[in-house]
Every structure is written in C-alpha cells, then in structure tokens.
Amino acid sequence: MIHVSCIAHCSKNLRRISLGIVLTLVLIPVGIAGAQAPKKHLTESPAKDSATKVSATNLSATTVEVYLSSEETKPGPTQQPSIQFGARRAPELTITVNPAIRYQPIDGFGASLTESSAWLLATKLTDSQRNDLLEKLFDPQKGIGLSLLRQPMGASDFALKPYTYDDEPSGESDPSLKHFSIQHDQSYVIPLLRRALAINPHIKIFASPWSPPAWMKSSQSVLQGSLLLTAYQPLADYFVKYIQAYEKEGVPIFAVTMQNEPLNIPADYPGMGMSAAEQAMFLRDALGPAFRRANLKTKILIFDHNWDLIHFAIEILEDPKAASYVSGIATHCYGGNPSAQEELHNRFPNSPIWMTECSGGGWQNGNLLVQQVRLIIESTRHWSRGVILWNLALDQDHKPYLGGCNKCRGVVTVNDNGSSVEVEPTVDFTALAHASKFVRPGARRIESNTFGESSLEDVAFQNPDGSVVLLVVNSARKPITFNIAWAGR
C-alpha cells in the first residue's frame, strides 16, 4: 500500500495540490500485505529484499490510498478515491520513492500530556467526551494513533502550581529521598497515561525535568539556579526513583533527558541552568552509574534544546566516558533549523535523534497547517526518529499555564464557555494525523527526492508490513501537478 497524504487543494485526479494542502498516499502492493520490511539499517542501496519486490504485473493492481487536508478541511485527513499506477509519465515534477534505500527507524509522533492538559481532560470533559478524545488521539485504527508522549517530571510552565517529587520546607533537605513521592501525579496525569497505554500499548514515554527539588539548587527555589555539586547523586537517585515509581503504576518510561532546555533559565516558571560541562559531569559521575546499578533499561538522552545550540550536544559526546552512557539526542525547534540534526548525525551516526518539543502558537503567521507539516517532513528527513509537539490540550485562552508562553497552542482546544465544553482539534492534530495515522512505529524512512526550497516538499516511509507512506505538502499559491515513480512505474 502507498498512502499519499496531501496538504493543499487537490483536483479529482489527486495529483494537483494548491495552497496549504497536505497529501498522504499509502501504497499497498499486491502480495506484500503483512510482509516484514527489511531490518537492516541502510544509507546506501542494499541487496533487494523480497518484502519490497513487486512484479510489474502486480503494479497495475497496487492500491494507492489518498488522504487530503487543508486548513479549510481540518481536522482531516479526508480519504479521497484511490488511484493506481499507470505506464505514462506527465511532463511535470516527479517524486521517486525508493524503498531499497532506507534510513532511520521511526518511533512515532505525539505531544505532551502536561499537568495542564491532563487537568483539562480530567475535569472539563464528561466521561464520554474524554473516552472519545483519547480514542481519537491514540487508537491506531479508530483515531490517529499517536505513539509518543513527553512527560514533565514535576511542574513545567504548563502546570497548576510549582511542584517536584520531593519538596521540603525552606532550609531543609532530603538527600536520602525519604520523602520522595509521585502522589501529585496520581490526580490527573498517571490515570490518563494508563488509559492512553491501554488504547495504544506501543506508546513510548519520554520524561524531562524542568527543575529538581529546590533544596538541590543554588537558588533554593524551583526557579532559576544551578545544580549543587552535593546534589548530583541525590538527583541521580531521584531519576531512578521516578522511573521505578512510574513503572509500578504501569507507566514505563522509554527515555529521560537530564534537563529541559538547559541553556534557558526562565524567571517565572520552573527551570534550571545546566552547562554542557555540568551535564557531562552529572551523566558521567552520577546518573549513568546510577542507571546501571539499578539495571534500568530507560534511555538517557542529552541536550533537549534548540537546533542552533548543538555545540552543547557535541561537547558532551566528545567526552568518551560521558558518551558511554548516552542513548541519543533530544532537540527542540525554537532556534535554528532541522539541518542541525544532519550535522549531529554525521558527527555521531550511532546517536539517534528525537525532536522532543515544538509548540505552535499565536506568534505564527500564514498557513499554519503547512508550517506544522513541514516541521514533520524536515525533522524526519534530517534523521529524527519522531516528532513531539508540546501540549496535548489547552483551553481557548491557551491556559492553564504558570508562566512563559501565553500563546501556545494545544493539539486540541478545550473550549469552555461556562455552560458547555467542546473539544476542537487544531491544525496540529491534522498535521500529526497525516503522519501518525499511517506511519507505524518501527517504520523506516526511505529515499524520496524532494524539491528543497520549492513549494513541493515530501518524505517517504516504509512500514513493517511493507506498505509505503508518502507525505507531500504544497505551500504554493497555485496548484502543482506531479508524478510519483515507484518500482519502475
């Protein structure tokens, strides 16, 4: 199967895309449904694999499902009539899809169930609304199949109040973590995480602290400050206890980062400064050894900050002892561009990359759907194994929040007018859906040519069952006709 996903206004022949249209095509070759895609990770042409072989006689019968969205048709994607391959090529642009050249595996796409998001879903929605929304978000068949969640460890800028898992009265400390507890998360966050996992057991959860407990910091506050040298081991133990406590609640943690945006020190919500040298030392001398002693399988990711600051990740990975504990690199989108991930991959090809935070919001202008889909296309074309947006849900006033961003947009908006509550998917829902509904965890990005700075951009994937997904966006102000070439047709 080839899934074709289009963002723009498409004509009936489904090859024309105009301003703001996203197109997803799913190609399902006859005879390979259920087959396993090749497992070898390749950046060059491999020997042909039976899972990708399709005879010319079967090509004419290949099903190509087509799904279309524009800003006018959200929440989408809307299925269009299926198309088939033909023998002739139009004298137009051609996107050539080649499953023989395969790149990074894909873990999926998702957002963050912040405390703000969890509180909205738990307290503002009826049981029926909540169940329906969770199914739409996480069910791979009935919904869009989100498979990644990024969870703040304690309060972030989107929480009801500042908190950590070991808050002590001013002037007191708890280096042995006798008072550690995740009880605060039992009210809203953990029940909803369990429900999401029940709907989609393939969800992978990333966890990141905005601030450790105040007594671990130079500021003696969850605001600002840096990590005290005497707190390195207690903070490492804090991570271990968090992972073990969540595991007991039925919520496994796939990966952690050591500090959200370590070079950003906010004044009005929890945060902490952490230099690359400090993060390397914490990882090398405390966190890495603590994970090994506890036999944790959770991955440790470094960085967790913007594309234009990758010198931070490079400095850590050039420390051999620290690098021995690194399982990958987390990036954010608020500075620089995705090509920075290409540099990281080229320097450190054995360090996987995940784009762990990128919020849309009121500062964006123009076609928002195109912008969010381009984020997915460009991040994955530059080696990201997944794309995680920010809040899963916010209200019509971009709340609740502690500080910082007052214009951030959720994947869905919970509109509460006082007498009724309605859930409205945003452009972020639509953008994620064009990837998450069709690209299954374990897929591989495969070769497809794109047209760079032109209005037509794309990325292609092959699922474990052999189906091929092509995601295409046209940001031009006019329709574009293009061909798709695959397996000689």
d(CA 190, CA 205): 12
Residue 444 CA: distances (Å) to CA of 98, 104, 124, 462, 488 = 12, 6, 38, 5, 21
**Size of the chain in residues:** 489
d(CA 323, CA 64): 44
- Please state the pTM of the whole predicted model: 0.91
Query: Class of the 108-441 domain?
Result: alpha beta
Q: Is the CB of residue 280 less than 8 Å from the CB of residue 319?
A: yes
The reported pLDDT for the residue numbered 38 is: 32
The reported pLDDT for the residue numbered 251 is: 98
The DSSP output letter for 408 is B
Domain assignments of the chain as residue spans, ordered by start: 2-104+445-486, 108-441
The reported pLDDT for the residue numbered 453 is: 61
The reported pLDDT for the residue numbered 165 is: 98
Helices and strands in the chain, H and E counts: 12, 21
The reported pLDDT for the residue numbered 71 is: 81
DSSP structure string for 325-347: T--EEEEESSSS-THHHHHHHHH
The DSSP output letter for 309 is G
Q: Is the CB of residue 479 less than 8 Å from the CB of residue 17?
A: yes
Q: Is the CB of residue 443 less than 8 Å from the CB of residue 467?
A: no
The reported pLDDT for the residue numbered 37 is: 34
C-alpha of 241 from chain center = 25
The reported pLDDT for the residue numbered 36 is: 35
The reported pLDDT for the residue numbered 61 is: 56
Per-residue pLDDT of the chain (489 residues; tens, 9 = 90+): 555 565 543 333 334 443 467 889 899 876 544 333 333 333 333 333 223 333 333 454 588 999 999 887 767 799 999 998 887 888 888 999 999 999 999 999 999 999 999 999 999 999 999 999 999 999 999 999 999 999 999 999 999 999 999 999 999 999 999 999 999 999 999 999 999 999 999 999 999 999 999 999 999 999 999 999 999 999 999 999 999 999 999 999 999 999 999 999 999 999 999 999 999 999 999 999 999 999 999 999 999 999 999 999 999 999 999 999 999 999 999 999 999 999 999 999 999 999 999 999 999 999 999 999 999 999 999 999 999 999 999 999 999 999 999 999 999 999 998 889 999 999 999 999 999 999 999 999 999 998 866 689 999 999 999 999 999 999 887 888 889 999 888
d(CA 149, CA 89): 42
Peptide bond preceding 29: is omega within 30 degrees of 0, i.e. cis? no
d(CA 326, CA 273): 20
Name the residue among 402, 417, 484 with its Cα closest to residue 450: 484
The reported pLDDT for the residue numbered 314 is: 98
Helix then strand then coil, in percent of the chain rounded to 5, is 25, 25, 45
d(CA 51, CA 168): 58
HSE-up (13 A, CA, CB side) for residue 262: 25
